[in-house]
Each structure stands twice: as structure tokens, then as C-alpha cells.
Amino acid sequence: MITQSTRGRLVTGGAVLTAAALALSGCGRSEESPESAPQASTSIGSDPATGNLTVWAMGTEGENLPKLTKEFEAANPGTKVTVTPIPWDAAHNKFTTAITAQSLPDAAMVGTTWMGEFADLGALDPTPAGIDTSSFFPGALDTTKVKDVGYGVPWYVETRVVYYRKDLAAKAGITTPPTDWDGLKAMAKAMQDKAGAKYGINLQPGGQGSWQSVMPFAWSAGANITSDDDKEFTLDTPEMQEGLKYYQSFFTEKIAGTDLPPNQTEAQFVSGQAPMFISGPWMAGSIAKLGGDKIKPNIGVFELPKNKTSTSFVGGSNFVVFKASKNKDGAWKLVKWLSDGKTQADWFKLSTDLPAVQAAWKDPSIANDPLLPVFGKQLETAKAPPAIVNWEQVATAFDTEVEKMAKAGQSPEETAKAIQTKASSIGTGS
């Protein structure tokens, strides 16, 4: 099952109704006169940052960031960074309320799928010259772009790979992880037939966030969510149907089940009931905590096998500067400092958040880890959905149709058509 931590779910979550309310109340870019609208930054000064900076960050990142920004304050005497931790479940509404009230901080950590909405409301300052955008993983950098304009930077990333039990794979006669779709299915089947698993692989049979389970296979087959200009959905194509057909086949062939209790992926992995699943880096710690020292050496990971490409989902959080900031130069200097490879490596040691800057993955704390380099390799080709305003509504419709396909036998062709129809009805919001 492609599982998500609470953090992961909320990174990709959003309160569409709040956005709609904002739009209806006229609180957005369209209401600003050219004279009153804050001007975008075009460059970052070379002198040290000065003045006070206010920052919002969610979850444990909000709790840990002040420990890191002490170094920034030391390097920029006279600068004071005040970080306000915000609970994830209240974050989106707090941001949208602050956009309405024009009471935003100077900079903030934001969910990747909020970018289109916040940019559309005119709240974000475009990324100025002076930020080395070539240093980031390409898929992560794409999450900062709205209509080809970059806003902020990727701060930390995560992606999904295939977890497997090494000991049961050996029992099943698998000595080398598969690299293509046929190999993945053969390995999962062998886990059932030779290693005693109830199901060879744990895949999400619909429900919230299941689009993240399916899209890697659709991307692998060559599908895209939208046209190149993001104005039209392209969810009913032969490539999308191929990805859906492959995903459904695990259920129709009883290699994956629809009857496994949800949110027990770690236990099902440790028991051997379902010794393979697809998920992010946080699951290694969860499995080790549950299975103890006995399970640790038997945790293996490999990149998603390919059809045309090996393409996983990239998530994480971005760091942005708000257009209304009174200290944008200082805020962008903070963002630039947070994007430095050494700072990113230091942040990983402090938070375990995976760096968005590729150079930071050379740090021994990551490079010498037995599992993390596989995630780093997968990040090189990982993708995210386009930053469109209505994506969360479309994602919910996608999840509903995936569930019909996995549990009720709706055909891949019918599923693709239904997703496309619903998405087109919702619109991109642009």
C-alpha cells in the first residue's frame, strides 16, 4: 500500500472551500490596483540580512527550525528570525485567512499543492535571480512553478519506492530486485507462491490519496495529468488506461487484496502477510520500531520498476516569501541560506527531512545510509501533479474512481473516462 504519514497527507491536502470563499470575497490579485500591489523582488542583495523576519512552519519543522536559524542570525548580526509553529491541520485555513487579512509573515513553509492556489491569489513573491534553481531535484522544483513562474524553493522532499522483505524474497527465489513491470508482478506472485504471503504486495484499493498510488504507474506508461499549458486535463488517454490496467491487474489476479485492514501496513509487512508495499522514507523507521532488531536487516527497497520510465511521486514542502513582506530582501536571503547544500545536510541531521538540494545527498549521513540512496536515485525522475488551483477537487474524484476500479471491477477504460469527465467538469481553475 502506498501509505502516507500525517505530514504527507497534509502536504498534499487543501481546503478548497476556503479558496472558493476567498475568491468570492474578492481577496486576491485581481482586486489589487497596480499602484497598491506589492512589487515583486527581482534580485537578492549581496550584503548581510538585516531586521526582523517572521516565519511560519508546520509540525515538527516549526519546532525544529529555530534551532537552525540561530546559525543564520549569527551570520547576519542584527537579524532576528521569529518562527511560529503551526499545527498542520490548521495551517491551510490560517494561511488563507492571513491572505484575506493581509497579515502574512515574511516567509513560510507551505504544502506543495497549495502553490497554485496561493499564487492565484497573488500572495507569493516570484523567485528572484540569485537562487540557484539548478541545484534542486527537477521534479521538486516543478512544484514551485505556476504557469511557468517560480515561487519560492523546494525545502525538503520525499518520494515513494518499493519496500520488500529481503528474507522472504530470498525464500521466493528473488535475488535481484525487478526493474520492469513484468518483474514486479512476478516477484509479488513468488512472494505468495513460495514465501507464504497472503498477498504479494500491498496496494491501496482506492480511498484518500490513492491517486498517489496510481499515477506513478500511469506516468511510467507515458501518461500526463494535463496538457503542456495546464489548461486541459488529459486523463483519458491510452497511456493512462495502460497504467490503470496494470494497477487493477494486481487485484483481479489476487496478488493484492482489497480486504486488508487499512493503516496496518507495517504490521502486515513484519508478519509477512504482505511483504511488499510502496511508500516513503518514514516507513523504514516505523517498521524497525515495530519489528525490532530482527526486522531491520531484512528491510529492502528498490526503485519503482518501469514500463517506459521509472517515475514516482515527489512530495515534501516548499519555502516561499510573501509579496506583502516588509523585509523581502532579508526573507530571500534566509531562503537562499536554507537552500545551501551544507544547510540542507544540517537540516536533515536535525529533522530527518530529506534534502531538496542534490549536493546535500553526498553528505555521509545520507550517502552511507543503507536505504536512503535509493530514494535519492528515485527523486531524479520523480514527478508531482501540476500546480493548478483545483487539483485537490480533481484528486478526490480520482480517488473515488480508483476505488470503483479496484473494489467493484470498473474497467480501466471506464475509470479513465470518468476521471476525465469529472476533472473537466471541475476545471483547472485557471
**CATH value at residue 376:** 3.40.190.10
Residue 131 lies in a domain: yes
Q: Do 352 and 235 share a structural domain?
A: no
Contact 199, 274 (CB under 8 A): yes
Does residue 308 fall inside a structural domain?
Answer: yes
- Give pLDDT tens digits along the chain (430 positions): 433 333 333 333 333 333 333 333 333 333 444 445 566 777 788 899 999 999 999 999 999 999 999 999 999 999 999 999 999 999 999 999 999 999 999 999 999 888 998 999 999 999 999 899 999 999 999 999 998 899 999 999 999 999 999 999 999 999 999 999 999 999 999 999 999 999 999 999 999 999 999 999 999 999 999 998 888 999 999 999 999 999 999 999 999 999 999 889 999 999 999 999 999 999 999 999 999 999 999 999 999 999 999 999 999 999 999 999 999 999 999 999 999 999 999 999 999 999 999 999 999 999 999 999 999 999 999 999 988 888 889 999 999 999 999 999 999 999 999 999 999 999 987 7
Q: Do both 274 and 320 map to the same domain?
A: no
User: DSSP labels for 190-255?
Assistant: HHHHTT--SSS-B---SSTTTHHHHHHHHHHTT--SB-TTSSSB--SSHHHHHHHHHHHHHHHTTS
Residues 422 and 297 in one domain: yes
Whether residue 175 is found in the same domain as residue 132 = no
Clarify whether residues 258 and 392 are in a common domain: yes
Contact 365, 348 (CB under 8 A): yes
